[in-house]
Amino acid sequence: MDPFLDKREPIEKKVSGNLPHWHQIGKIQFITFRLADSLPQSKVKELNAFIAEFNAEHPKPWDISTTQKFRATVGRIEERLLDNGYGSCILQHHEAREVVASAITYYSPSHYSIIAYAIMPNHVHLLAHFHTDTNPERIMQSIKSYSAHQINLKLQKSGSVWMSEYFDRIVRSENDLQKYIHYIENNPKNLDIGKFDLYINPEYKR
């Protein structure tokens, strides 16, 4: 089965909060999830204002090209904001990153193959090839729920750890895949961050 987005095949579409989620069985997905305090309210308002403006200019339902435009534009804005290092950045703690890495690897290879991940101070990038019988949304809920509980225990904290929403994209092609791998690999280097965890599966890198 082709691991990339196939416009000829059915796509399960769902909206969670402001973000659209597309699922197509057995595909490679790029996922970003972030800490609950990773963006100050002023920046959240800016992001939500852009989303509202985009929605007003592009009435739903969206076709594939409009959805891809939204994902590309909003994704770039969110990643730029996250890279500013807002919030408590509790993932700078080795114990917290260790929990997240353990949660990600727990489901591999039973539910997906890990292609790459980067655990940054206030967000996580995951690139994974999901199995045909795996629902990425349920896996993400499990990863976030387990890691939140464990992080609070290890850091002796309480309250929300992760933002309820997450950003995901189905990878469109081999060239697209290599761009995501390159982005994940260079994200920590470009920001000159000393405390991060990075994994790149050499089987996928070209």
| Upper half-sphere CA count for residue 105 (Cβ side, 13 Å) | 13
C-alpha distances in Å from residue 186, one per residue of 100, 128, 183, 196:
20, 17, 5, 12
User: Strand order in 123-130's β-sheet?
Assistant: 167-170, 28-34, 123-130, 112-119, 197-200
Contact of 79 with 31, CB cutoff 8 Å: no
For residue 135, the 8-state DSSP code is -
Domains and CATH numbers, the chain: 12-38+88-200 (3.30.70.1290)
Write out pLDDT tens, residues 91-136: 999 999 999 999 999 999 999 999 999 999 999 999 999 999 999 9
Write out pLDDT tens, residues 14-24: 877 677 888 99
CA-atom Rg of the chain in angstroms: 17
Residue 175 corresponds to which tokens in the numbers above?
Answer: 């060239």
Write out pLDDT tens, residues 161-171: 999 889 999 99
